[in-house]
Amino acid sequence: MTEREIFFRNVLGLTDPVLIKNLIENTQPKLLKKRELLQNVGDDVPYLYLLSTGLLRGFFYDSEGHEITDCFGYIPGTPAVACAELNRTAQIGIEALEDSALYSLPFEVVLPLMESNQQVMVLYNRILLHSLQEQWENKIMLAQDTAPRRYLWFNERYPGLIDRVSHKYIASFLGISPVQLSRIRRAIREQKVQDSADL
């Protein structure tokens, strides 16, 4: 099998050989260098992008023009979607935090398939539900928990990202300052040392 066929079969879980052939024929690779933008807020987005390898950050701007980190994408198969409605103007920017590889599919191919192919619709609904659940989880955590608990939650929810992502982006995502994040991490390290000493 080719890399693209493996991606559609093993990563996305598609089984229809006709569908897979159609997707392979219409898919193009998209490579991003670290810090390169896939798209910015307000851009027209004619493609659906699916992450193959790498790490992406979604962000938007506050009223003063500062970037606010909204989400991270690092699991293969994650869609890099900048708007709840497909084929619309981007509502968030998407930046590569590592060299990343994606597959791009034109919406002019994807949208008809969503209406005619059950596997595509099931996949889209699964992705949409996962995204909605993740957004609600994030909102509840940010609204209800203390900064230290948010940090601990981040490490559980996104294992390993603390070592791959700039701490200013993590602080922005958690709704705290980089200085607060640094203090929280130091306090947790010191507590672990104290707990070890008490054993």
Strand order in the sheet with 79-80: 28-32, 100-106, 47-53, 79-80
Which pLDDT does position 84 carry in this prediction?
Answer: 57
30, exposed or middle or buried, with CB in 10 Å at 0-12, 13-18, 19+?
A: middle
Cα atoms in the 13 Å half-sphere on the side-chain side of 29: 9
Give the residues across from 101 on adjacent strands. Answer: 31, 53
72, exposed or middle or buried, with CB in 10 Å at 0-12, 13-18, 19+?
A: buried
Max distance between CA atoms of the chain, in angstroms, equals 63
Among residues 86, 147, 158, 119, the alpha carbon closest in space to that of 17 is found at 119
Which pLDDT does position 198 carry in this prediction?
Answer: 62
User: Would you say how long the chain is, in residues?
Assistant: 199
Which pLDDT does position 18 carry in this prediction?
Answer: 92
Q: How far is CA 3 from CA 13, 85, 124, 169, in A?
A: 14, 29, 21, 32
Q: Which two tokens stand for residue 65?
A: 């023009």
Strands 93-96 and 47-53: unpaired
Q: Which domains does the chain have, with CATH numbers?
A: 3-107 (2.60.120.10)
Q: What is the mean pLDDT of each run of 10 residues along the chain (199 residues)?
A: 92 92 94 96 89 95 92 92 69 95 92 88 84 85 89 93 94 94 91 67
How many Å apart are CA 116 and CA 189, to the nearest integer?
Answer: 54
Instruction: Write out 13-75 in H/E/C secondary structure.
Output: CCCCHHHHHHHHHHCEEEEECCCCEEECCCCCCCEEEEEEECCEEEEEECCCCCEEEEEEECC
